[in-house]
Amino acid sequence: MTDLATSTSAPVGTPAAPQRARSGRGRRVAVGLLAVVLLAVLWELVKLVVPDTGGHVLGASVLPRTDDVAMPHVWTIGQRMLEPETSAVGSPTVLSAMLQACWFTFRVALAGWVLGSVGGFLVALLMQRWTVAESALLPWVVLSQTVPLIALAPLVVGWGGRIHIGSFEWQRWMSVALIASYLAFFPVAVGALRGLQSPPAAQVELFRALAAGWSRTLLGLRLPASVPYLLPALRLGAATAVVGAIVAEVSTGTKGGIGRMIISYAQSASGDPAKPWGAIVGAAVLGLVAAGLVSLLGLGLGRYRHAEVS
């Protein structure tokens, strides 16, 4: 009797599922855009309510100053982005310079993300395969993230500078990508390990009973089971790769990217307060775009995502 009840309702659920997913995706995009608008409104609201000199309680400053130098109007920032970068003849607009810098950083971050994801996944495989490797490596994986990037950057640049293999020469951007990969590596390694270890004992024993070796079990069971863990980890890895690339650009002094742009624009903050915000907006959008692009990876993997964790 119970079977009949589900059998009649089940076919109805099948075609409805993708439709629901699509409208859910549409709603998520709408909510995301709304959040951006809300942020702009909040920004203007703070400017309106908090006095120009900032909020003070008993003489101690608790809220930042809100004058036009510290917090330019949203529309001023927007307008500034459409104006030329400098007064020099033929200077590009802030927006186009920013987009160009973003494109540079994006490519470097992408290289770092790929490198970090592959590395993180391989480390997770190693840890899944041998328990000894897990107990030996996992503390180091966690420890690796406590080393400040700024301390690491000069080391990587120094080591890279000594690499000359044939006609290959270490480029500055490679140091940046390597540092970005160092950040992306962590969430992927941890997420992939959790995912690979996620199949319940019943399924693992089934594969054993079917005389499937480690690699067969990996491809047939552990890998598909890790998808709901891996996708959020890769998304997080993309965002951290962007942050890593920006910080690494600054600390290695690499030219051409958005990180360097933030620093150089900040120097003109007192005279041209809206200009540095253009670069900051660019960096934020870049992180969102990177994470969004990784989400696209999950589109074709619907059937593996029945229990996604984030």
Partner 1 sequence: MSTDAGTTTHSMAAPGAAAAVVARGIGKTFSSRSGEVTALDGIDLTVAAGEFVSLIGPSGCGKSTLLRLIGDLDQPSTGELRVFGKSAQAAREAQDYGIAFQQAGLLPWRDVAGNVELPLELHGVGKKERAARAAELLTLVGLEEFAGHFPHQLSGGMQQRVAIARALAERPSLLLMDEPFGALDEMTRERMQTELVRICAESGAAVVFVTHSIPEAVFLSERVVVMSPRPGRITAVVPVRIAGERTEGLREDSSFFAAVTAVREALHGSGAIPTGTARGVDLR
Site residues (vs partner 1, CB under 8 A): 1-3, 5-7, 10-11, 13-14, 200, 202-203, 205-212, 216, 220-221, 224-225, 227, 303-304, 306-307
Query: 84: which DSSP letter?
Result: B
Half-sphere exposure of 182 (CA within 13 A, CB side): 23
Q: Please, which residue, 69 or 212, has the CB nearer to partner 1? A: 212
Q: Please, which residue, 63 or 206, has the CB nearer to partner 1? A: 206
3-state helix, strand, coil in the chain (%, to 5): 75, 5, 20
Q: Please, which residue, 13 or 292, has the CB nearer to partner 1? A: 13
Q: Which ranges of 145-222 does DSSP label H, i.e. alpha helix?
A: 149-161, 172-196, 201-209, 214-217
The helix (run of H) or strand (run of E) holding residue 77 is helix 74-81
Query: In the complex, what is the shortest distance from the CB of residue 196 to partner 1, in angstroms, rounded to a whole number?
Result: 15
Query: In the complex, what is the shortest distance from the CB of residue 210 to partner 1, in angstroms, rounded to a whole number?
Result: 5
Q: Please, which residue, 15 or 59, has the CB nearer to partner 1? A: 15
Which structure tokens are listed for 1?
A: 């009797």
Query: 296: which DSSP letter?
Result: H
Which residues on neighbouring strands pair with residue 130, listed in sequence order?
none
CA distance from start to end of the chain = 37
Which residues on neighbouring strands pair with residue 61, listed in sequence order?
56
Query: In the complex, what is the shortest distance from the CB of residue 224 to partner 1, in angstroms, rounded to a whole number?
Result: 5
Query: In the complex, what is the shortest distance from the CB of residue 3 to partner 1, in angstroms, rounded to a whole number?
Result: 5
Q: Please, which residue, 2 or 19, has the CB nearer to partner 1? A: 2
Q: Please, which residue, 15 or 271, has the CB nearer to partner 1? A: 15
Query: In the complex, what is the shortest distance from the CB of residue 197 to partner 1, in angstroms, rounded to a whole number?
Result: 16
CA distance 199 to 94: 51
Query: In the complex, what is the shortest distance from the CB of residue 120 to partner 1, in angstroms, rounded to a whole number?
Result: 23
Phi, psi of 120 (to 5 degrees): -60, -40
